[in-house]
Amino acid sequence: DAGVIQSPRHEVTEMGQEVTLRCKPISGHNSLFWYRQTMMRGLELLIYFNNNVPIDDSGMPEDRFSAKMPNASFSTLKIQPSEPRDSAVYFCASSPTGRVLAFFGQGTRLTVV
Amino acid sequence: GQQLNQSPQSMFIQEGEDVSMNCTSSSIFNTWLWYKQDPGEGPVLLIALYKAGELTSNGRLTAQFGITRKDSFLNISASIPSDVGIYFCAGQASGGSNYKLTFGKGTLLTVNP
């Protein structure tokens, strides 16, 4: 079975540019999460979707960050404009509804210069 | 927010040795999860625990959900070089959102052949 698929795996961009990260969750999973991982703060939950609806976006750092889930098989995380402090590894994870689990993708390593 | 204290931060062991790491919290958790993360990859779920006192094995790995519901440990027996990586505990706090996981800072395991 295919796991959570993220693209791109690596992204290097200049400060001020728009960045879009993409995620395809595991088929049949109704919950989708975006996490950010840094050395300083570890894994942080950015936003949680259930049945394509954003339920909790309290972890989104600021208005420069936005996330969408137009259908059950696709989600995006957008940063506009990007800043060097956004450099991190961004993970998408999915889970069946009702289970406290998270199955992670391979992540997108973002570097903003 | 919730805090998980994971220890040790790092371990250097010889191949064949057993390993033990643990997570503690000041508050009660309903679920404990253990993940392993290899360099450049996303965390992979190893074991999920849902009941106080539960002891679950996955090959050479054994994890337990503490009776107090405030701790969990992971044991690895007869370590091998491919056990190298970062091990994370994660938990869902009692009284908290039923989807939100809190992650420990991780234990970096190095196995010398």
Residue A48 reports pLDDT greater than 60: yes
Cα distance between residue A23 and residue B54, in whole Å: 34
What's the pLDDT band for A101 if we cut at 50, 70, 90? Answer: confident
Distances (CA, A) of B22 to A54, A106, B6, B10, B90: 33, 25, 6, 12, 11
Q: What is the mean pLDDT of residues B27-52?
A: 95
Q: Taking residues A58-75, report their average pLDDT.
A: 95
**Sign of dihedral through CA atoms A14, A15, A18, A19?**
positive
CB pair distance less than 8 Å for B31 and A100? yes
B interface test, pick of A51, A100, A108 with most B CB neighbours within 10 Å: A100
Taking residue A92's Cβ as centre, other Cβ atoms within 10 Å add up to: 30
Which tokens is B79 given? 């370590």
Task: Please state whether beta strands A88-95 and A103-104 pair in parallel, antiparallel, or not at all (unpaired).
Answer: antiparallel
- B44-82 residue pLDDT tens: 999 999 999 999 999 999 999 999 999 999 999 999 999
What pLDDT score does B2 carry? 64
Output DSSP code: residue A85: G
Neighbours of B17 (CB within 10 A): 13
Which site among B99, B101, B103, B108 would you substitute to test the A interface, given the most A Cβ atoms closer than 10 Å to its Cβ?
A: B99
Residue A11 has pLDDT above 70, yes or no: yes
The nearest alpha carbon in chain B to A102 belongs to B45
Q: Per-residue confidence at A77, pLDDT binned at 50, 70, 90?
A: very high
